[in-house]
Amino acid sequence: MNPSCNLFIVGSTGAGKTSIGRRLAAHYGLCFVDLDQEIEQHCGVSVTTVFEIEGEAGFRQRESALLDECSRRQGVVLATGAGAVLDPRNRQCLTERGYVIWLQASIEQQLERLAHDTRRPLLAGEDRRAKLEAMAQARAPLYRELADLAIPGEHEGVSTASTRSIALIDQHWQRQHVAASELTHDHRD
């Protein structure tokens, strides 16, 4: 059961948006789109290179343009970049065009998962913990605002996390479907 023609995944860096998103797409029979990969294909260079040449502002402009384009598609699971929620227009696109899933991850989980990752420009340099904490403080309220469903992070592998996510999505969607059916039934009486 698919709760929407589109599933949009938001969450912090290292939350599993790409890994779990691929499995959700396969389960629901949808096309998988990773926004950072779309940016790289469109630009012909890595996200890191876009940051080096254009800075964060240039990257965010490209991100917004492609998020608008990708969120207009039908039948996609879209894994957004962690900071895509910072732009109010992006938040509007996500809430109006699909079912938004917030994959949560603690700072400890992020540090563990990103320990050997050198591809994320905003985490370059010293004190990753402080950077992740600052990002979480700014972004968590936005994720919360957008989310149709928040999926708590657990210490588990991608397969188990994906299975748990599918069960939570289906359960949430079924509750919404039943509530909508009851409202329709009540109005007919």
Which residues fall in the annotated binding site?
A: 14-19, 36, 60, 120, 139
- DSSP letter assigned to residue 9: E
How many CB atoms are located within 10 Å of the residue 110 CB? 26
DSSP calls for 166-183: HHHHHHHHHHHHHHHHHH
Output the six-digit token pair for 53.
């040449």
Binding site for ATP: which residues?
14-19, 120
Output the six-digit token pair for 112.
């563990």
Q: Which residues face 159 on adjacent strands? A: none
Binding site for Mg(2+): which residues?
18
Binding site for substrate: which residues?
36, 60, 139
What is the number of H-type helices and E-type strands within the chain? 7, 5
Distance from C-alpha of 157 to C-alpha of 189, rounded to nearest angstrom: 48
Output the six-digit token pair for 63.
């991100």
